[in-house]
Amino acid sequence: MATFVGFNTINQYKKFTVVDFELIKIDLLNAFNILQGQLPGRPEYGTSLWTYVFENQTQDTTDAIIQEVQRVCAQDPRLSIAEIDVFPQANGILIQLLVQVVPSTDVERLALFFDQSQRRASYVS
């Protein structure tokens, strides 16, 4: 597997280097926490998923959420999405992803919670 190296200062005290899948997870979470069009010079980066968090959770809304998750994940060439499940919650949306890092065959399950009250996406275990 290729080694991806990056840096993270959030909740880090001495070791700021992040590698491989941990770096990919941080980059993906950043993309889901930035509203589409807010990053200068990259209007396609980020997500419009937050508009669906406040909608009634119909099948059309679920399909739109899945398409948006696929669009955001497709921007990262290191990722391949095998499965997306959407679960409406009382105060947000839970999205479970089955993710494969492209140069390998290892598959990981990620659970992202989009919290309405905090307007923030985070990983849940």
How confident is the model at residue 10, as a pLDDT? 55
User: Tens place of pLDDT for every residue, the chain, 125 residues?
Assistant: 456 555 454 555 555 555 567 778 888 898 999 999 888 888 888 999 988 888 888 999 999 999 999 999 999 888 999 999 999 988 899 999 999 988 777 889 999 999 988 999 999 98
How confident is the model at residue 9, as a pLDDT? 47
Q: Specify the pTM.
A: 0.82
- Give the largest CA-CA distance in the chain: 46
Q: 17 phi and psi, to 5 degrees?
A: -80, 135
**H or E element: which one contains 28?**
helix 20-33
How confident is the model at residue 113, as a pLDDT? 96
Q: Which residue segments constitute the domains of the chain, with CATH numbers given?
A: 5-123 (3.10.450.40)
Contact 111, 98 (CB under 8 A): no
Query: How does DSSP assign 54-116, residue by residue?
Result: TS---HHHHHHHHHHHHHHHHT-TTEEEEEEEEEEETTEEEEEEEEEETTS--EEEEEEEEET
